[in-house]
Amino acid sequence: MAVKEVLIYPDAHLKKICAPIDNFTESAPQILQDLVDTMIAAGHSVGIAAPQIGDLYRVAVVDVSNSKLGKKQKNHGLLQMVNPEIIEKEGSQTIREGCMSVPDYTGNVTRSESIVVRFLDQNQQLQVIRCEGFEAIAIQHELDHLDGFLFLDRISSLKTDLFRRKQK
């Protein structure tokens, strides 16, 4: 479909709560494909959510299988999620996160170590999967976008847990 422009904070779309997709119409497959295309084109991304490309729907994609951290752990490959929700959480871990919508910074964020997420996939099939480690973190990060949260909102101290990225 298309590679879309990724919105950069403080764009107002990034702070809005997204609407569920009630009918799996033409819009859901198109948004999913636009997200996959945009994520792949970025070259370094492990996920992206619809509000990051200006679509205020509960749609996100995650694929940690090609990342350094994702290769070390079992993962589910490309997840295309419509109306995802986390229905179970366990444990806690802190990891440095970045975001295409906050390109100049990374930050230490504490998230659940293991989650169970329920969603409709690209074939309109209900999926309920358990994810751990980096994949669980990536999903939590993307689902935060659907509720208007950025990783910046999860940092406990902007003074000690926010870091400027090195410019190349």
Active site residues: 142
Distance CA 33, CA 11 (A): 23
DSSP designation for 6: P
- Contact between 59 and 90 (Cβ < 8 Å): no
Q: Within its chain, how far is the Cα of 117 from the centroid?
A: 13
Helix, strand or coil, per DSSP, at residue 138: helix
Q: Give Cβ neighbours of residue 8 (< 8 Å, ≥ 6 apart).
A: 101, 102, 103
